[in-house]
Structures are given as structure tokens and as C-alpha cells.
Amino acid sequence: MTKDIINASNAIKIERALISVSDKTGIIDFAKKLASFGIEILSTGGTAKVLQDAGISVKEVSEHTGFPEIMEGRVKTLHPKIHGGLLAKRDKDNHVQAMKDNDINPIDMLVVNLYPFVKTVQNDADFDTCIENIDIGGPAMIRAAAKNHNHVAVITDPQDYEKIIDSMEETDGHIGTNIRKTLALTAFSMTATYDSSISSWLADQAQEAITRRTSFSGTLKQKLRYGENPHQSAALYLTDHSVRPGAARAIQKQGKELSYNNLNDTDAAFELVSEFEKPAIAIIKHANPCGVATAKDPLDAYNRALMCDQTSAFGGIIALNRPLTANLATLITERFVEVIIAPEIKAEALEVLQKKNKIRVLETGAMPD
């Protein structure tokens, strides 16, 4: 986030914040810092209790609005005193007058993350439970605050807490325009991803393979070394509704940063060996198989795959559908390889591979079904 020069034209002073989070990572420390600036904190339900138990002064949203939570919490922040406080333009006389006429206080900061819909689905919850984990009030507030980012700072990711506090400490409790724009971008990206995950799940539930409209979204996992060509940039995003084991979700145990081509070839190799029940090895280069083989054990499968085309296998990608052992790692490292991917990398194998520390080594944790 770019440090702003604080002046009357681009910075806002935070005086009131609304905090309502499902993911409470770091929220106590963040709220304590906000309170140290003299900021009034509004909150709801479980978040309010967590903050109060930590000794932080909190005003319940129901007290702020004068209206109780109803319908098992489905309706609690959907109120003019909340949305008017988020959407009001502080530099428009008619907006300011509307706030006065309706006893609406401005809300300068919104700290919200959403019901854990994706985790609920991944935990194989029943249909009704998944439905109840579709957040309504959260996205409504986030979109309101992000739309009105000229006057409101919206924070949807705990990763941003430290940056926000650092900025406020440098500027006597202000937040500049560039930071607010970046936060708004993060907020709209998050609600788009959230809705995309819900629509994908509902398509599965309704058994609609082809929908009238579709969207694709994901969360940044890592920037790649370069794109399809060295002068291009690339990044890897993970879809939130899928946990399929593979190259994208693998943990890199060692080696240089992956490029787009590395990842593309590694994915092809791993998907290929996942087709076999017997021990299998695939050696891929430039998206083409140099050799593929099955055998009673991975060592034999590797030798068979290598014999298909030893020349092309130089500098290739090697995938196996069994744990990588020290013996096989020793054999593989006799030749130059770019990437090795397996469901498990044995500790002894990793010791062998570390002698060739430029080799990228990926562990998926499982084979795809």
C-alpha cells in the first residue's frame, strides 16, 4: 500500500468503526489499536463478545440501531443506521442533512469478513447448513463501504490489519485515499469470489452442468517466475470451491520459483500418473510425454519411462503416483530434471534431493480421485 501525504483533500479521520468477523485472526490486537486512537467500536454477536472479553469497549449494533437481531441473526445489520452511516457522502449537504434528520451517525471504517461458506461445503455439511452459511448482511455492508471508499475504509482481510495500523500511527489516525482504493479493490474481489463459489455449488446441487451465466474466481497462491515466455508475468490462483490434489495445491519443498511452463507441464504429468492404479512414472517436457510407464514398483517404472526417450527426458518434469523414496531420488538426480512431483516426499529422499537444491520438488499430499 502506498503511503499517502495526509491532507484534507485525501485523508479521512477514523472516529467510528464497525467490526463483525467470522475469521477472528488478529482481531483483538487490531481492535485494541483502534481503541487506542479513541475510535468508537460497534460490533455484533460473537465478535462483540470476543472483544468485550478482551477488555475492549464495544457498543452492540442492536443498541446503535435501536433494533434487535431477528430471525436467528439473519437480520441484524440490514438497517438504515448502518447503511446510511456507510453510504453517506460527508461532502454533500443533502446527505449530511439526511443523517441529522434520521439520527444516523457516520461509520468511517468497516471490518468484515464473511460466513465460512467454502469451508462449510468442504466439510460436507448438509444442504440447509450450507444455505445458512451464505452471508447476506456482510456482503451488503462490504459493497456499501467499498462503493463509498472516498469516505470509508473497508477491511476484509486480516493480512491488512498491520498495514492499516502502521499507516494510522504515521498519520495520527487518518487513512489516505490510495490505501482506501486498494482496500475497496480487495473488498469487491472478495465478494465476487464469494458469490462465484456459491453459484458453483448451487449449480452442482441443481445438477446444472451448463448455466446461463458463469464466473471464475480464485485466490492468489503465488506469483510465478515468468509467463509462457520470459518477458511475460504470470501468477497462480486457486479456486475456493475445489480441494483437488495436484500441482496447483502442492507444497514446494525446495527449488527455484516455478514458471508458468513448469506448472503447466507438472500439472500434465501429475494428472497423467493419476490415471493409473499401479505404480506409474511420467516424464514430460514441453507438454509432451517423453516416457510413461507402469511397473510393480516405482524404480522399475522410472527405468522403463526413461528408456522411452532418454534424450528428450533431459531437463524434464517427473511425476509419480507413489511416495518418492531415497533410492528413486538418487536414481533421478543422476540426470538433470526441472521438477519432481509426488503425493509424498520421504524425508530421506529430500536429503538426497537437497544436494541438487535447484530441482523444484512438489508434494501434493494425496492423489486426485
Q: In what order do the strands lie in the sheet with 153-155?
A: 59-60, 40-43, 16-21, 109-113, 153-155
- Helix, strand, coil percent values for the chain (each to nearest 5): 40, 20, 40
Rounded to whole angstroms, the Cα distance separating 263 from 47 reads 40
User: Cα–Cα distances in Å, from 322 out to 67, 277, 304, 342, 354?
Assistant: 59, 10, 16, 6, 20
**Among this protein's residues, is 286 annotated catalytic?**
yes
Residue 360 is given by DSSP the state E
Residue 139: what are its φ and ψ, rounded to 5°? -60, -35
Those residues whose C-beta lies under 8 Å from the C-beta of residue 141, and which sit 6 or more positions away, are 18, 20, 77, 82, 83, 86, 110, 112
Cell of 167: 499507516
d(CA 355, CA 348): 12
Secondary structure (DSSP) of 276-322: -SS-EEEEEETTEEEEEEE-SSHHHHHHHHHHH-TTTTTTEEEEESS
CB contact at 8 A, 369 and 246: no
Dihedral angle sign, alpha carbons of residues 110, 115, 119, 121? negative
Integer angstrom CA distances of residue 244 from 124, 203, 239, 323, 366:
14, 18, 10, 18, 9
Is residue 64 among the annotated active site residues?
Answer: no
Based on its alpha-carbon atoms, the radius of gyration of the chain, rounded to whole angstroms, reads: 26
Q: Of 221, 286, 355, 358, which residue is the catalytic one?
A: 286
Catalytic residue among 147, 163, 256, 346: 147
Active-site positions read 147, 286
